[in-house]
Amino acid sequence: MSQDLWDQLERRAPEIADRAIQAYAAASPRYQGTVPEHLYRHMAHTTREFARLYVRVVKQERELHDDELLLFANRGRERGAEGLPIADFMDAYLVGARTIWDELSRLSRGAPPAVAGDALLRCLQSVMHAGFQAHQEESQAAHSEERENMRAVVRALVDGQATAEFADRVDLRLADSYAILALRFAPHPSESVGDAVGRRLAGRRKVHRITEELTRSLADDALVALDPDGGLFLVPSEPDRAAADLAAARAAIPRLQRAAGIDVMAGFAHAGSRAEVPAAAGQARHLAQLGSPAEVAVLDDLLFEYQLHHSSEAVPHFLSIVDELRREPDLLVTLKEYFAADFNRRQTARQLHVHPNTIDNRLSRIAKLTGANPRTARGLMSLAAALTIAAESPS
């Protein structure tokens, strides 16, 4: 193999780097043919060193040493910290390798040595692996820091402590008002299989899919604080946009549920000003406990349930009413059907395939057993409260 060929290639490293930069900028929609100064500062040096490393490996007929990959790992770490997409980073290496090969082909008059292609691919694989791994680690660290900063802002908003100065410190801008979605997520089947690491990764993937769908459907500048079980999603709004924001949320949640493959419960509240965020977030969280899958619960639709959802000394008494009825399941079923039929005993009887007199007898037994007479307004209110509280309480 001609040593002179490889010496020529090594001497041509600066020209190779320059052509690689020009080709990269011309093909990139980000630069559209204009070469910014930082490409000369970073990409040129990396491409020159890659070309020289390739020549050394071929001339010495050896594999790469780990310390020779440190430069490329550092470049990956720097680009990851800057937020350069991994696809752009990959393109730069591929353009550099192609430019090296084109120059080698020119110098060898179209007949590169037999080992040249395999050696170039092995070098490219090694430097890209080192660079990509470092890029991924740095990107993940930056994303984790960004996510934690956003969660801190959400916590401060919900606690009534967030200020513009606080948000500026973590490079986030606060809106004057927010539409608030409180969300609850059912477990995905993948979260219950495998080891602890696999289950944790499954939960993160679920949150990532949900966050992507929400930001695409509602707002890419929303404040997000979500875990595998649920959390808060705050959409920048205006004081008079409550109805429009609710309509958008009601359109988004069914799509979100289908995309995630799980049940999603949502509560909605609107904060017309930043000072209203704490109360609105609390309201949305309570509503999310009351809502049905794929629906968005709002206070106007669940006034009775919302009021009963707040704990008080009366709750144990209401639960005891249902406990009494559970001892005679036919009474509990009858009472639920009686409410569903809007207190129409004949319709209740048809639904349960019994005589209306049987319904009368069961209503009397309910009154005797619980002390709440379903034939009176006061008794009906007590029984409705008991059923509602029991439905929202752990069994």
Tell me the per-residue pLDDT of 323-332, one tens digit each, with 9 for 90 and over. Answer: 999 999 999 9
Contacts 24+ apart (CB under 8 A), 136-143: 136/80, 136/86, 137/77, 137/80, 138/76, 138/77, 138/78, 138/80, 138/81, 139/80, 139/83, 139/86, 142/80, 142/81, 142/83
Instruction: Tell me what pLDDT residue 84 has.
Output: 82
Residues 120-133 have a mean pLDDT of: 94
The band of 162, judged by pLDDT with boundaries at 50, 70 and 90, is low
Q: Give yes or no for a contact between 1 and 113, defined as CB atoms under 8 angstroms apart.
A: yes
What percent of the chain has a predicted confidence (pLDDT) above 90? 55
Q: What is the mean pLDDT of the chain?
A: 88
Instruction: Tell me what pLDDT residue 100 has.
Output: 96
Q: Which residues are CB-contacts of 352 (< 8 A; sequence separation ≥ 6)? A: 333, 334, 337, 358, 359
> Is the predicted pLDDT of residue 394 greater than 60, yes or no?
no
What percent of the chain has a predicted confidence (pLDDT) above 70? 95
Residues 148-167 have a mean pLDDT of: 82
| pLDDT tens profile 71-106 | 999 999 888 877 788 888 899 999 999 999 999 999
Structure tokens at 336: 């639920």
The band of 53, judged by pLDDT with boundaries at 50, 70 and 90, is very high
| pLDDT tens profile 368-389 | 999 889 999 888 888 888 888 8
> Is the predicted pLDDT of residue 194 greater than 90, yes or no?
no
Hey, where are the domains in the chain? Answer: 3-141, 175-301, 311-391
| pLDDT tens profile 265-307 | 999 999 999 999 999 999 999 899 888 899 999 998 887 777 7
May I ask the CATH class of domain 175-301? Answer: alpha beta
Instruction: Tell me what pLDDT residue 310 has.
Output: 66
Of 111, 106, 109, 113, nearest to 54 (Cα)?
113
Tokens 């649920």, located at residue: 230
- Comparing 311 with 160, the larger pLDDT belongs to 160
We find that the CATH architecture of domain 3-141 is: Orthogonal Bundle (1.10)
Structure tokens at 300: 């106007």
Instruction: Give the number of C-alpha atoms closer than 13 A to the C-alpha of residue 4, restricted to the C-beta side.
Output: 2
Please provide the CATH number assigned to the domain covering 311-391.
1.10.10.2840
**CA-CA-CA-CA dihedral for 241, 242, 246, 249, to nearest 10:** 60
| pLDDT tens profile 164-179 | 677 777 677 889 999 9
User: Rounded distance, CA 303 to CA 282, Å?
Assistant: 15
The band of 39, judged by pLDDT with boundaries at 50, 70 and 90, is confident
User: Rounded distance, CA 239 to CA 222, Å?
Assistant: 16
> Is the predicted pLDDT of residue 188 greater than 50, yes or no?
yes
Instruction: Tell me what pLDDT residue 246 has.
Output: 97
Instruction: Tell me what pLDDT residue 158 has.
Output: 92
